[in-house]
Amino acid sequence: MTLVKTAIGRRSFIKSSALVGGGLMLGFNWLASCKLNPEQVNSLPGEWFELNGYLKIADNGQVTIMSPNPEGGQNVKTAMPMIVAEELDIDWKDVIVEQAPLNTDLYSRQFIGGSQAIRTSWEGLRMAGATARHMLKAAAAEAWKVPIEEITTETGTLHHKSSKKSASFGEMASAAAQISVPEEVELKAIDDFKIIGTSKKNVDGHKIVTGKPLFGIDTQSEGMLTAMIVHPPAFGMKLKSVDDTAVKTMPGIQDVFTLNVLDDNYERQHFDTCTFLEVVAIVGHSTWEVMNAKKAISVEWEPFETYAEERKPYRGPKQKLMIPSGLENTSDHKAKMAEMGSKKAAIVRRDGKPETAFRNAAKIIERTYTAPFLAHNCMEPMNFFADVKGDSAQLSGPLQKAELTELAISARLGIPVEQIDIQLTRLGGGYGRRSYAHWALEAAVISQKMKAPVKLVYTREDDMTGGIYRPAYQVTYKAALDSSNNLTALHINAGGIPESPLYANRFPAGAVDHYLAESWKISTNITIGSFRAPRSNFMASAEQSFLDEVAESAGKDPIDFRLELLNRAAKNPVGEKNDYDADRYAGVLKLVKEKSNWGKKDPDIKRGVAAYFCHNSYAAQVVDMTWENDQPNIQKVTCAIDCGIVINPDAASNLCEGGIVDGIGNALYGELPFKDGSPQKRNFDTYHMIRMSESPKEIDVHFVKNNVDPTGLGEPTFPPIFAALANALYSATGKRFYNQPFINEMKALK
Amino acid sequence: MAKFNLNINGKTQEVEVDPSTPMLWVLRDHFKLLGTKYGCGIAQCGACTVHLGDDAVRSCQLPVSSVGDKDITTIEGLSEKGDHPVQQAWLEVDVPQCGYCQAGQIMTASALLEKNPNPSDEEIETAMNGNICRCGTYTRIKKAVKIAANSVNA
Ligand code: FES
Ligand code: FES
């Protein structure tokens, strides 16, 4: 066992106010929300005792565990309570999981983003369970008048061996709630885990397959109105005038008005990206009526002038961003990136003497890769519920960064955060998109104006054309090989619109003697946001395709070539700031090599490999495909991943499979082109989302077994699959694919 | 505005709406049957799939006026206790990630198995190709459809 201080460190999850034992009973509504059968009524607990912000124990031994983070498909709502239950030492079947509302006093970092939920809360969740277990033991020790050290627990029961006394957690819950919180608690040894590491079904599985209203878009409330917005049809445009005469008298329509999403003097934070500062709101009784009004309304737009926007980013000082005027085109974007990429740019890292190494090279390989803007296309369109009354607001919806959204809404409405209540609904996909909740502000402003509960829903078209995209990127890699085919120098020139994708300290930095990384960016009025493994999703695709080509040119097996470089980085790294653990990196490559039977050649199966490290986890993949009717048919993807301790293996595997399918879809088909500022795809008839027939027939996920604290899983399998796919496409077609989406160049092959 | 008597999940229910209103919004806004989801509104994503008689249809493109006396089944009416073989298979394989597309997936799959209790891989792909899942659960969906097929045939 490990002894840990329960003292409140910065990384700790539980805040002090929650640690006052036996605190208030929180609003406990699970009984009200489900219809119970007679057996359930008989086994109902008489009373619940809250031991800390995470859990309550009932007199009948049932345990309710609050899941602090919003659920968007990563399965944290099952995994996080599993960690608490493990340390509490109870039977998983006695656990009821509830979604916690936003509560900044009780919990910290109620975020989805960066695949960090489990990593950052691991310690805190364990402590929450262990603290409660300790309090139960202390209560038993007091009741039985024996030293606490002699009390043991076993799945929901307390024992005192020599006196043969025992009691269930339920029996001791009331007394435990009176015990003061210990200063130190013991955590289980990892080898003693009984729940962690075993597959548990999704706690919301039954609700999902029976269609229960779990999502923000399902929110209902007495007297609720439906709202939609009309935003400019193109980036670079703003509202000029609205003619709502025809619309105001349409059936069911309550009001039409324009609104400013943010106040002019509001100090923006990192996630306050707002694409269209002024929009038209249409409010009515039913969705179809509002949709019809939306089609009928006539709005005039006009180009805006260049303006400046101040913003306080995630880290570092305030920034001033220039938002350029103009109606942009994809063809211009490509030309500008090509021009920037051909020039010298800001040097981010430099090792050795790259210029000399290139001059002395026996062979030089240089390739340029590009990728377009991408829309997130969460299947649940953006939506939010707001009921703003005087100086208070009841809000509900799918948010990745609720704490920050609350601050922005508080500032916009002029209502203190204490008077704002946010319920976190299940997210019908997030992938970064729901970190930027301008639609929540819109809903709140509309409700305040209407003095009524309002649900704002974006149409698919509003959603897809509303900005917050994955940026467009370009990178040029240049490699020098000496006469014995060793990689002696690497030059990376990376940039994008409007941000650079470069991670200068990642592999192969550290494995090459002479290294130069340069970065540039081009401004735009098209808004961008985090998109599943931001920047990594492009860098992996390019870097791992390039290394494949360099390995081929050096006459080496692509896995052996990477292992050779990693071996160098492990034994004798170049530079000090290398951002990866070369041994763990090599570990996933070795595992994927073994599990995919890499050495075994089948002439019909074309293969490609790639590996990447991001979000603290390591992933390697092998794609097996056949080429039929001018198209890839992906037979199998083998994936090896090192994300430390795996909490819930089957669900973890599901998430990895999802990242792989999503990555293949975006690599092959994903693209949002622009003409005169206007997105050229508005719905799924033209935006090609991967479908079942295009997905891998089989996905085989293997986890590296170790006792490292758990790390991210929602993102790490996404970036490398782009390259594993490109490399397999090369072995299938003899053609390298440099520009995403690959479908465009695949068509040209015919 | 016009009145319609609709057979939904075995019950006849009346609604007064514009005849062009898609069934999707009649179900969601008027009957509060919220399991049927909006994803695209143009019959491209399958999130809104319901059964019209024995057929899986996209309710976003099904005007209420065209339904007549045909039976409509939504995810809420697929089984009384959530134990339809397809729902059970979905739980066994633990298919959902975010879950948003899954009601539509299940309605498409259950209509397929009703007509073709023993579909080949290709037939499953053809039937399910109209249902998008951005989370990428397709391999699990296919596995669950096969398990459901076996249990229907058992
Ligand atoms: S909402 Fe009907 S198919 Fe997408
Ligand atoms: S499970 Fe999220 S879209 Fe299918």
Ligand 2 centroid–CA B102 distance in Å is 6
Q: Locate all alpha helices (DSSP H) within A251-353, ordered by sequence.
A: 287-296, 330-341
Residues with CB under 6 A from ligand 1: B 38-41, 43-48, 58, 60
**Helix/strand/coil for A731:** helix
Share of chain A above pLDDT 90, in %: 78
- A620 lies in some domain: yes
- A315 lies in some domain: no
Contacts of A205 in chain B (CB under 8 A): 90-91, 94, 96
* Pair (A238, A297) in one structural domain: yes
Ligand 2 pocket: which of B38, B94, B135, B139 to mutate (most atoms within 8 A of CB): B135
- The minimal CB distance from B75 to the residues A210, A287, A377 is found for A210
- The minimal CB distance from B99 to the residues A226, A426, A689 is found for A426
A669 in B contact zone (CB under 8 Å) = no
Q: Which ligand is nearest to the CA of B137?
A: 2
Q: Locate all alpha helices (DSSP H) within A414-467, ordered by sequence.
A: 438-450, 460-464
B25 in A contact zone (CB under 8 Å) = yes
Give mean pLDDT, residues A397-425: 94
pLDDT at A665: 98
- Convert the pLDDT of each residue in A193-202 to its tens digit: 999 999 999 9
Ligand 2 centroid–CA A427 distance in Å is 10
CA A59 to chain CA centroid, Å, is 38
Ligand 2: which residue has its CA nearest to atom 3? B133
As given in the structure block, the two tokens for residue A467 are: 């900005």
- Convert the pLDDT of each residue in A18-73 to its tens digit: 333 322 222 222 222 223 333 443 445 667 777 777 888 988 888 998 888 889 99
Give mean pLDDT, residues A411-420: 95
Ligand 1 pocket: which of B40, B107, B131, B134 to mutate (most atoms within 8 A of CB): B40
Read off the pLDDT band of A5 (50, 70, 90): very low
pLDDT at A22: 28
Q: How many angstroms separate the CA atoms of A554 and A219, rounded?
A: 59
* Pair (A647, A591) in one structural domain: yes
Contacts of A378 in chain B (CB under 8 A): 98, 100, 134
Q: Which ligand is nearest to the CA of B100?
A: 2
* Pair (A230, A170) in one structural domain: no
- The minimal CB distance from B91 to the residues A209, A226, A695 is found for A209
Name the amino acid, one letter, at A254.
Q
Domain that holds residue A729: 344-374+469-747
* Pair (A510, A416) in one structural domain: no
- A332 lies in some domain: no
B97 CB less than 6 Å from ligand 2?
yes
Shortest Cα distance, chain B CAs vs residue A87, angstroms: 25
* Pair (A197, A300) in one structural domain: no
Closest CA to B61 of B77, B47, B75, B78: B47
Q: Output the CA–CA distances (angstroms, integers) from residue A411 to A359, A397, A404, A450, in the order listed.
A: 58, 19, 11, 19
DSSP E strands, A2-116: 2-5, 48-52, 55-58, 63-67, 95-99
Q: Locate all alpha helices (DSSP H) within A572-623, ordered by sequence.
A: 582-595
* Pair (A178, A230) in one structural domain: no
Residue B76 near residue B9, CB atoms below 8 Å: yes
- Convert the pLDDT of each residue in A203-227 to its tens digit: 999 999 999 999 999 999 999 999 9
Q: Output the CA–CA distances (angstroms, integers) from residue A439 to A93, A222, B104, in the order listed.
A: 39, 22, 26
Backbone angles phi, psi at A516, to 5 degrees: -140, 125
A229 in B contact zone (CB under 8 Å) = no
Shortest Cα distance, chain B CAs vs residue A247, angstroms: 16
As given in the structure block, the two tokens for residue A421 are: 């209540």
CB within 8 Å: A204 and B99: yes
Read off the pLDDT band of A538 (50, 70, 90): very high
Cα distance between the two ends of chain B? 48
Q: Output the CA–CA distances (angstroms, integers) from residue A637 to A526, A588, A699, A721, A732, in the order listed.
A: 35, 14, 5, 9, 15
Share of chain A above pLDDT 70, in %: 93
- Convert the pLDDT of each residue in A452-502 to its tens digit: 999 999 999 999 999 999 999 999 999 999 999 999 999 999 999 999 999
Domains of chain A: total: 3
One-letter-per-residue 3-state SS of chain B: CEEEEEEECCEEEEEEECCCCEHHHHHHHHCCCCCCCCCCCCCCCCCCEEEECCEEEEHHHCEHHHCCCCEEECHHHCCCCCCCHHHHHHHHHCCCCCCCCHHHHHHHHHHHHHHCCCCCHHHHHHHHCCCCCCCCCHHHHHHHHHHHHHHHHC
Contacts of B44 in chain A (CB under 8 A): 683-685
pLDDT at A23: 24
Q: Which of A179, A209, A239 marks a domain boundary?
A: A209
Ligand 1 centroid–CA B27 distance in Å is 13
- The minimal CB distance from B98 to the residues A72, A457, A683 is found for A72
Name the closest residue on chain B to residue A73, using Cα atoms: B98
- A214 lies in some domain: no
* Pair (A531, A409) in one structural domain: no
- Convert the pLDDT of each residue in B73-102 to its tens digit: 999 999 999 999 999 999 999 999 999 999
Contacts of A75 in chain B (CB under 8 A): 97
The H or E element containing residue A243 is: strand A237-243
pLDDT at A38: 38
Give mean pLDDT, residues A249-272: 92
- Convert the pLDDT of each residue in A640-681 to its tens digit: 999 999 999 999 999 999 999 999 999 999 999 999 999 999
Atom of ligand 1 nearest to the CA of B130: 3
Using only the alpha carbons of chain A, give its radius of gyration. 28
pLDDT at A10: 23
Q: Which of A180, A209, A238 marks a domain boundary?
A: A209
What are all long-range contacts of A740-743, with beta carbons under 8 Å and residues at least 24 apart? Answer: A740/A370, A740/A371, A740/A372, A740/A541, A740/A666, A740/A667, A740/A670, A740/A671, A741/A372, A741/A666, A741/A667, A741/A668, A741/A669, A741/A670, A741/A671, A741/A688, A742/A667, A742/A668, A743/A668, A743/A669, A743/A688
B132 CB less than 6 Å from ligand 2?
no
Q: B4: which strand partners?
A: B15
Q: How many angstroms separate the CA atoms of A151 and A176, rounded?
A: 14
Ligand 1 centroid–CA B108 distance in Å is 12
CB within 8 Å: B135 and A218: no
- pLDDT of residue A446 exceeding 50: yes
Q: A67: which strand partners?
A: A99
Query: How much is the ipTM here?
Result: 0.98
Q: What residues of chain B, 105 to 144, have a C-beta less than 8 Å from chain A?
A: 106, 121, 124-126, 128-142
pLDDT at A520: 98
- pLDDT of residue A103 exceeding 90: no
Cis peptide before A317 (omega within 30 of 0): no
pLDDT at A11: 25
Ligand 2 centroid–CA B51 distance in Å is 20
Closest CA to A314 of A114, A136, A137: A114
Shortest Cα distance, chain B CAs vs residue A276, angstroms: 22
Give mean pLDDT, residues A303-321: 87
- The minimal CB distance from B98 to the residues A73, A286, A381 is found for A73
Ligand 1: which residue has its CA nearest to atom 3? B43
Q: What count of CB pairs under 8 Å joins A to B?
A: 190
As given in the structure block, the two tokens for residue A83 are: 């960690």
Phi-psi region of A607 (alpha: psi -120 to 50; beta: other; left: phi over 0): beta
Domain B2-78 has CATH 3.10.20.30: yes
The DSSP letter of residue A709 is P
Read off the pLDDT band of A114 (50, 70, 90): low
Shortest Cα distance, chain B CAs vs residue A220, angstroms: 8
Read off the pLDDT band of A685 (50, 70, 90): very high
* Pair (A195, A227) in one structural domain: no
Ligand 1 centroid–CA B8 distance in Å is 19
pLDDT at A36: 35
- Sign of the C-alpha dihedral, residues B79, B85, B90, B94? positive
As given in the structure block, the two tokens for residue A475 are: 């990178």
Q: Which of A33-37, A145-149, A179-183 has the lowest mean pLDDT?
A: A33-37
Give mean pLDDT, residues A123-151: 93
Question: What ranges do the domains of chain B cover?
Answer: 2-78, 85-153
* Pair (A174, A227) in one structural domain: no
Q: Which of A98-112, A132-146, A587-601, B64-78 has the lowest mean pLDDT?
A: A98-112
* Pair (A151, A294) in one structural domain: no
CB within 8 Å: A73 and B96: yes
Residue of B134, B140, B141, B143 to mutate when probing chain A, most A C-beta within 10 A: B134
pLDDT at A388: 98
- A389 lies in some domain: yes
One-letter-per-residue 3-state SS of A262-283: CCCCCCEECCCCCCCCEEEEEE
Sheet of strand A606-614: strand arrangement:
A606-614, A617-628, A631-642, A698-703
Ligand 2 centroid–CA B46 distance in Å is 12
Give mean pLDDT, residues A680-703: 98
Torsion of CA A503, A507, A510, A516, to 10 degrees: -50
Residue A652: half-sphere exposure toward Cβ, Cα within 13 Å: 29
Name the closest residue on chain B to residue A207, using Cα atoms: B82
Angle between helices A536-553 and A558-571 (to 10 degrees): 110
Q: How many angstroms separate the CA atoms of B44 and B134, rounded?
A: 13
Give mean pLDDT, residues A393-410: 94
Q: What residues of chain B, 36 to 75, have a C-beta less than 8 Å from chain A?
A: 36-42, 44-45, 47, 74-75
What's the topology of domain B85-153? Answer: DNA polymerase; domain 1 (1.10.150)
As given in the structure block, the two tokens for residue A119 are: 């990593």
Read off the pLDDT band of B136 (50, 70, 90): very high
* Pair (A37, A109) in one structural domain: yes
Read off the pLDDT band of A108 (50, 70, 90): low
pLDDT at A314: 72
Atom of ligand 2 nearest to the CA of A428: 2
- Convert the pLDDT of each residue in A546-592 to its tens digit: 999 999 999 999 999 999 999 999 999 999 899 999 999 999 999 99
Q: How many angstroms separate the CA atoms of A274 and A268, rounded?
A: 10
Q: Which of A437, A457, A477 marks a domain boundary?
A: A457
- A329 lies in some domain: no
* Pair (A665, A700) in one structural domain: yes
